[in-house]
Structure 1
């Protein structure tokens, strides 16, 4: 593990607030996956894939994907049951990882620069470990890798819900009791340390995303079952066997950037440094005063760290080509 390198801010585009990138529906293995595309602004841009967290969507990557469009030709998918994708048959980390693998294969764009936030980070770790030939570099933002002290997460309050029969119905009922505006505010407060960093346009887009959830009858079940699947993956990681996410992380060969916020309220703040220690070729960026979704809260800082990673790995590839 070593500290992340920050590229100069002048290498990034001027400050702007782009609208969500255009999206389309793709039928994959019998169900619809929704994908947003951030067109590259340079001819030699390389393919990238962005994977959101629990309860999120492809829109969580709007700013970061735009800032990196000069280097990366981006796709951001909605996981099954979230955003505008149809529900899936299962809601486990292995199932989501297989869907990401299938998307990379279906799109024919591999190997990709793979990005994952929170749940998307756990999924991306599994993809990078099981199918290393599909991953050029790996960037993990507050990855939801296993930790057992749920007092360090606001999600710990949900654990009793998992023991209740038909918990999905209770979650749907609770969702119906809250106005979309209240839910959007609660989600933002849980994920972001400094709300002044989120502009009015992003707040309005977050509210529209919440309204999409209210219209999707499957959303509450998808959320609860995914949370149950994530907790199950945490527990399995501390048992013998090949399914441990920590053991998988230790086998990843891809150059990796790990970003964590010191005011993360959803994932134990010790997880990001531990992830960087476990992954062999890793760089760590810990951000003071930043919460769970650094790519939303401080996208330019995250983009500078990604550019640092891309520059370093590009130079290594160049040297290898010259030596060959």
Structure 2
């Protein structure tokens, strides 16, 4: 376990090295997880470890307020999340090394914001079930608000500890803190949705992966229509959580995309978020 201070926060990070020395100019592969009960561990076995074994240097970290990263009362908007990412990369000292961002669910949204803000840094995107539409924001707000009410002053964490279900108790306690003691819900409510013009500004290679039964497929198709170098892979028989895919189709698609984009170099110019 490792912790790195970036800005005012201490972030929980994990770095995975390739078995053989990686090309120092190749992109660092950075994984961004989803909201509330998610953390860096969801990537470890399905994608992060295979990526490292395939020769990529990998960085995983718990987003602000999630997992073992510090949990401030505010700052859960996408602009701050991008600043957190940039500050963490600066603290780790990769210099001008490019990055390939792999984002799951809301982490895919953050990865897309980062690519639009820093085309000079982000050379590739892999977006797993990215929520891109305003309708998703409304549905998520309803879900988060209902969860917040059910967790407020709930005895569930103590009951889980009593049953020695420590991991479940910890995740429940984190969800309660995030939903009831931070600005996360308000910050999500104020998030900006993407437009076709945003997608048209994406010049790096983009792979979008969705489950066949996911409500997010339509938004993914909209991105692919407008981003010149984007493509969509739909995994049959799955819904939103494609990370649970066990046949190897997800892993194969992601590793192929990482390999194909390893030599891509960033575009000139930078837009500071």
1:221 aligns with 2:217: no
* Equivalence for 2:44: 62
Equivalent pair of 1:261/1:290 in contact (CA under 8 Å): yes
1:295 counterpart SS class:
helix
Gaps of 5+ in 1: 1-22, 182-206, 238-243, 318-324
Q: Which has the higher helix share?
A: 1
Larger mean Cα displacement after TM superposition, 271-280 or 125-134: 271-280
Distance (whole Å) between structure 2 residues aligned to residue 175 and residue 299 of structure 1? 38
Q: CA deviation at 1:280?
A: 2.2
Q: Which runs of 4+ in 1 moved over 6 A?
A: none
Alignment match of 2:32 (pick from 30, 44, 51): 51
* Equivalence for 1:11: none
Q: TM-score, normalised by structure 1?
A: 0.67
Distance (whole Å) between structure 2 residues aligned to residue 230 and residue 37 of structure 1? 29
Task: Pick closer, same or farther for the CA change 1:246–1:226 going to 2, 3 Å.
Answer: farther
1:135 aligns with 2:119: no
Distance (whole Å) between structure 2 residues aligned to residue 176 and residue 278 of structure 1? 48
* Equivalence for 1:258: 208
Distance (whole Å) between structure 2 residues aligned to residue 299 and residue 48 of structure 1? 23
Larger mean Cα displacement after TM superposition, 208-217 or 73-82: 208-217
Alignment match of 2:248 (pick from 288, 291, 300): 300
1:285 counterpart SS class:
strand
Q: CA deviation at 1:268?
A: 3.1
Equivalent pair of 2:13/2:59 in contact (CA under 8 Å): yes
1:41 counterpart SS class:
coil
Gaps of 5+ in 2: 266-273
* Equivalence for 1:210: 168
For the aligned residue pairs, the C-alpha RMSD in angstroms reads: 3.0
Q: CA deviation at 1:104?
A: 2.0
* Equivalence for 2:134: 147
Q: TM-score, normalised by structure 2?
A: 0.79
